Amino acid sequence: MKRLDFLKEEVATLKNENRFIQPHVLQTAQDAVCVIDGKEVVNLTSNNYLCLTTHPKVKAAAIEATEKFGIGTAAVRTIIGTTSMHEELERRLAEFKGTEASLVIQSGFTSNTATCQSLMTSPEDVLISDELNHASIIDGGRLAKAKKKIYRHSDMAHLKEILETPEVKNSRRKLLVTDGVFSMDGDIANLPEIVELCEKHDVITMVDDAHASGVIGPQGRGTVAHFDLKGRVDIQIGTLSKAFATIGGYVASTKDLQGYMQSVARPFLFSSSHPPSVIATCLAGLDVIYNEPERLKKLWDNTKFFKEELKKAGFDTGHSQTPITPVMVGDTVKAQQFSKMLFDEGVFALSIGFPTVAKGKERLRTIVTAGHEIKDLEKAVAAFKKCGKALGII
Ligand SMILES: *Cc1c(COP(=O)(O)O)cnc(C)c1O
């Protein structure tokens, strides 16, 4: 295809800049230890926090729902794509988040874009966003008609300054959006101060708890519960693709917001709904979260152990407060080498470079789960030490 020849150059540029991505291929079920590209490795990359991917009750729920409702809905939610299970899941997610209602959308990504786009409909509106917010919030801002104001990461003085500018003060609707847990650094947003500032300046608050739902707060209910701010955050976004280990997202808020968005949110209206099996796994996943609290405890025990061992070994692990632990390297090529060497040692941890993180902040990003055993983590730490020393990182 001659007209696509320009892509040869684009691909060459990506390769030159070490930004060309070729996915690794998983050949077993996804677990704490699995086979990737033909090699058995300790997996430190996935968001499978509670190890629900292979939970027997969750798998059984998917099969049962398929038998009862078939494999798919073949329609958008507003036509014939809403089963009784979809409704039940929305009720139960609202209960999980302590809100009046919730709306399930295809993914966490589209939940963010849909919410920003649906609420921010005029240039007289303003969307205020942390500079390290997830790409889906950035794209949500692009789809929104509002002005955008970006504050430095978790910098409350900067946020206050922005809120006090006449331009923001005089805006029609004001929406502040923040990740609850920042996905690359693993730090938690300063929600108590954000909420206080937003209450004072009459700003709608929206927290994206993709990495917090099922992970932090009592029963894994997320950052709002963690900070005891129930009723004070207007909109909570969650994903079903991380701790829930399946696919989807949701917006938990008021009945009015649910009703409004199910009438206007474009991904909800124009993209088909989840297959019954997916919804069933989310319902079963919620049961596991409530009934097997030992999973959440093990996740945090593992987190503590792994972070401490890496720190003791001399690695810079940033300022994470969650199971996401960055291992700072500061150079793209070195981070990629580090990842390759670890793979040869039977440990799977991927490098993250520019533009996902800033130049100079290149790193390996690790996540432990409830599925890891101490021996898996010990093996990982030993490999990190060996390769880290070889590369002069420690
Ligand atoms: C992963 C992630 C999303 C996207 O969720 P998906 O359900 O995978 O689309 C949104 N926001 C944040 C902060 C994330 O980390």
Instruction: Kindly report, residue by residue over 151-203, the tens digit of the pLDDT.
Output: 999 999 999 999 999 999 999 999 999 999 999 999 999 999 999 999 999 99
Point out the ligand 1 atom lying closest to the alpha carbon of residue 112.
10
In this structure, the number of other CB atoms found within 10 A of the CB of residue 374 comes to 11
Mean pLDDT over residues 233-258, rounded? 98
Mean pLDDT over residues 281-296, rounded? 98
Selected catalytic residue, list 149, 211, 274, 307:
211
Spatial separation of the C-alpha atoms in residues 75 and 367, rounded to whole Å: 36
Mean pLDDT over residues 57-84, rounded? 97
Element of type H or E holding 46: none
Q: Is the peptide bond before 355 cis (omega within 30 degrees of 0)?
A: yes
Q: How far is the CA of 193 from the centre of ligand 1 (A)?
A: 24
Check if the beta carbon of residue 93 is closer than 8 Å to that of residue 85.
no
- For ligand 1, mutation pick of 45, 115, 134 (most atoms within 8 Å of CB): 134
Q: How many helices (H) and strands (E) does the chain have?
A: 15, 13
Spatial separation of the C-alpha atoms in residues 142 and 120, rounded to whole Å: 11
Ligand 1 surroundings by CB, under 6 angstroms: 107-109, 112, 134, 136, 179, 183, 208, 210-211, 239, 241, 249
Q: Which CATH superfamily is domain 13-43+292-390 in?
A: Aspartate Aminotransferase, domain 1 (3.90.1150.10)
Mean pLDDT over residues 352-379, rounded? 95
**Residue with CA at minimum distance from ligand 1 atom 14:** 210
pTM equals 0.97
Point out the ligand 1 atom lying closest to the alpha carbon of residue 183.
15
Q: Residue 354 pLDDT more than 90?
A: no
DSSP β-bridge partners for residue 34: 41
pLDDT tens for 293-351 read 999 999 999 999 999 999 999 999 999 999 999 999 999 999 999 999 999 999 999 99
56-290 fold: Aspartate Aminotransferase; domain 2 (3.40.640)
The mean pLDDT of the chain is 97
User: Is 351 known to be catalytic?
Assistant: no
What angle (nearest 5°) sits at the alpha carbon of residue 233, between those of residues 227 and 239?
85
Strand order in 350-352's β-sheet? 324-328, 363-367, 350-352
Where are the domains positioned within the chain?
13-43+292-390, 56-290
Confidence label for 33 from pLDDT (cuts 50, 70 and 90): very high
